[in-house]
Chains A and B, each alone.
Chain A
Amino acid sequence: MMELDPLLLSRIQFAFVVSFHAIFPVFTIGLASYIALLEGLLYRTGNPAYEQLSRFWTKVFAVVFGMGVVSGIVMSFQFGTNWSVFSYASANFLGPILAYEVVTAFFLEAVFLGVLLFGRDKVPRGTHLFAACMVALGTFISSFWILSANSWMQTPAGAELRDGIVHLTSWSEAIFNPSFVPRFFHVALASFLTGGFVVAGVSAWYLLKGKAPEASKKALQMCLIMLAFAAPAQLLVGDVHGLNTFKHQPAKVAAMEGVWETTDGAPLLLFAIPSQSQERNFLEIGIPNMASLILTHEWNGTVPGLKEWAPEDRPHMPIVFWSFRVMVGIGLLMIIIALWGAWLTWRDRLVESKRFLRLTSLMIPLPFVAVLAGWFVTEVGRQPWLAYGLIRTAEGLTPSLTGAMALFTLVGYVTVYAVVFIAGIRFLVRIIRQGPDQTDLSEDHPGAHAKRPFSAADDKTMA
């Protein structure tokens, strides 16, 4: 029998459970803000369209958030089960940061979610709005801490290694480590883009089907205006983030750009097939000098090649290189769609442009692909380190872990997540197929608060 490598299996397992988990919060962060906005607009205007939209998206939110929560619980134990040496070594920093995330964010989200989902008829409207805001706030506080922890693993600061254990020298330097601020804004924008494109895509599809046309048009317009700012902004923030990586993790950038030899005036490669073993690329197509210009702001600037690092210190170039291109490609597509949509909104031709509506609804899965690709760039690009320059991935593994144990849980997680994911997607599709029209018909019991009974017919009276 082939020898099972617990290290490789643990890496696959971590990549799998964290990728699976990552797609949910990146959506719910954006969606939570949207729901809070809808609740706020409802509170101020009393327009039933906002209640209709809020009720509908809250249903979607509940399913997605549920999957995010359960896959998140797995994450908080994954460090200990498979990476106990790393956990023990880095506990002085990562422990407090994760503990702060739990007490300042997770409780806020979890507890107020109950009120948001089940409390519409039990609390005053203002309180319900407050609950929606607390859930949204919780998602942001959560990303603050978890991105601080992740950024610290990319660019450790404010800490020193004594006898193999991380000890803090400065909490503020550690929390606000060099890559944290650009990463935070990059991820926050990614969340808005993901939430925005999903809501826009679903609304565009409803417009095509003639479902809840007034509310859908309103939702689509709201999203497109936001996306028209957020999508181009992401290009700028992404550039700042890239420059930050170039400064602190140049090996990662070499892999992103597909540069083997240190080059003056490096080209921006549009296509290449990098070979890790042969230390070269095949079939390169590139724009001369562009990579140097972007990274150094000089025509002939120097970009260090991956060969500057010993083979055992290099990240895997093909994965990083291609993930980066997938992310950037989708990002550029988002900018085009967002600007086109904003123009159509401005000219008030949104509903007529069937081609735009169809394309926008096809965009729904792409932000998720972009987000995962982005995480692949940064996480695979950090290898072979767990905490960059401090602790290697291979050193962090649990010593008592055997290949068979790791294989068992890997197969287990894949099976469990496949069942949950397939069921979850099917329920989401069903909720979305039903649409906002019917959302309310089944639950029009007389509430304690002045709640307008409304139905599809009310749509026509909506301003």
Chain B
Amino acid sequence: MELIDLTLIWIVIIGFGVFMYVFMDGFDLGVGILFPFAGSDEHRDVMMNSVAPVWDGNETWLILGGAGLLAAFPLIYAVFLPALYIGVFLMLAGLIFRGVAFEFRFKAEPHKRRRWDIAFFGGSLVAAFAQGAVVGAYIQGFEVEGFSYVGGAFDWLTPFTVMTGLGLVAGYTLLGATWLIMKTEGDLQTLAYRIAGRMVVAVLFVFLLVSLWTAVAHPHILERWLEHAAVLWIFPTLSLLAGVWLWRGLGRRAEGTPFIATLALFLLAYLGLLISMWPYAVPPHHTFWDAASSPDSQLFTLIGLLFVIPIILAYTAWTYWVFRGKVRIGEGYH
């Protein structure tokens, strides 16, 4: 086993799984956050129908994240979840309300529909915020003794994590808006263009703010940035270019480019985060290698996953293809 670093392979797999989640559930949570901005009930129907066939598969990546961490990095699982106890509950409550809203909204009597609109919006918003706060909490680090979290219930809730929470809300909103640009037409698409334009500015601003704040609050990260500045300059530069690409795509009313460009922005931010935190899984003390499960368990799971994940990607891609194209008013099985 000395030849292959299983832990490194697992970092790639979990990293991939978490990114798949952030990107895929990101756009459907974003559609939920945009719900109140729709002008009419028909538009809300279209918005929901644009993600209804795929949201469940998207959310499964979150469960893979949870189970994958337990399988490969149990320390992360056993420290993050207790440390984020209240936040995890809020996220789950949010996901529950927005998840059932997909079915319930269409089945409710017209005058009660509003409730499930609110559940869909509120659930998406709370889940997005909580996930953003998790990112902030990861940067902040955890109070750990041995292999257990020993901090308090609200250590995760600080001005910094509130900002990362709001940042991810903005990011998901941008993803949702660019998704809607791709999947809708007419008034709704125009609205999506307008909101996406505002969100680009908000997201780039948050990027900048989080970076500066991190540099000030966590000198060791700033040190790392400066030390590797010769290579790391590429990240802010590429992010800025992706922002410009996105902005110009919106300007010339491109339909696919804004979504792809947003995806690129997310990927850059995500890689930047990992590189900044490397090699810490549970900062400030434990690395990914400290957090790993036994090599035997990592290997046993790896064999199956390497075989099955490509199949999952294939049939997931196939369903997106089945449901390709614009969603129109009056479509859907309800």
A residues near B, CB below 8 A? 62-63, 66-67, 69-74, 76-77, 79-81, 84-85, 87-88, 91-96, 98-104, 106-108, 110-115, 117-120, 122-123, 165, 167-168, 171, 398-402, 404-405, 408-409, 412-413, 416, 420, 423-424, 427, 430-431, 443
* Complex Cα spacing A71 to B81, Å: 17
In the bound complex, CA of A463 to CA of B60 (Å) = 42
Q: List 10 A-B contacts (CB under 8 A).
A: A66-B102, A70-B95, A95-B70, A95-B301, A113-B56, A118-B323, A398-B85, A405-B85, A416-B93, A427-B108
User: Residues of A contacting B78 with CB < 8 Å?
Assistant: 80, 84-85, 87-88, 91
Residues in B whose Cβ lies below 8 Å from that of A76:
63, 66-67
Interface residues of B in 259-312 (CB under 8 A from A): 293-294, 296-297, 300-301, 304-305, 308-309, 312
Q: Are B80 and A70 in contact (CB under 8 A)?
A: no
Bound complex: CA of A77 vs CA of B97, how far in Å?
17
* Chain B nearest CB, measured from A72 CB (Å): 8
Q: Tell which of A95, A404, A412 touches B74, judged by Cβ atoms closer than 8 Å.
A: A95
A417 closest partner in B (C-beta): B96
Binding site for A on B (CB under 8 A): 52-54, 56-57, 59-60, 62-64, 66-72, 74-75, 77-83, 85-86, 88-89, 92-93, 95-97, 99-100, 102-104, 107-108, 147-153, 293-294, 296-297, 300-301, 304-305, 308-309, 312, 315-316, 319, 322-323, 332-334
CB distance from B89 to the nearest CB of A (A): 5
B289 to chain A, nearest CB (A): 15
Known: A84-B79, A87-B78, A91-B297. A77 touches B88 (CB 8 A): yes
Tell me if B74 and A74 are in contact (CB < 8 A).
no
Which residue of A63, A81, A123 has the most chain B CB atoms within 10 A of its CB atom? A81
Cβ-defined contact, A408 with B53, below 8 A: no
Q: Are B81 and A110 in contact, with the CB atoms below 8 A?
A: no
The answer to whether B148 touches A399 (Cβ under 8 A) is yes
Which B residues touch A401, using CB under 8 A?
82, 85
**Contact B53 A117, beta carbon cutoff 8 Å:** yes
Q: Contact check: which of B66, B102, B319 meets A111 at CB < 8 Å?
A: B319
Q: Verify B85–A167 contact, CB threshold 8 A.
A: no
Q: Dominant SS at the A interface?
A: helix
Q: Is the beta-carbon distance between A73 and B62 smaller than 8 angstroms?
A: yes
- Cβ-defined contact, A103 with B305, below 8 A: yes
> How many angstroms between the C-alpha atoms of A114 and B106 in the bound complex?
16
Do A409 and B63 touch across chains, with their CB atoms under 8 A apart? no
| Residues in B neighbouring A108, C-beta threshold 8 A | 315
User: Which residues in A have their C-beta under 8 angstroms from that of B97?
Assistant: 416, 420
Q: Are A111 and B147 in contact (CB under 8 A)?
A: no
Kindly list chain A residues whose C-beta atoms are within 8 Å of the C-beta of B104.
Answer: 63, 423-424, 427
For A115, the chain B residues whose CB sits under 8 A away are 53, 319, 322
A71 touching B60, Cβ below 8 Å: no
Closest to A127 in B: B322
Q: Is the CB of B59 within 8 A of A110?
A: yes
Name the contact of B96 in the complex, choosing from A70, A103, A402 (C-beta under 8 A). A70
Bound-state Cα–Cα, A171 to B79, Å: 27
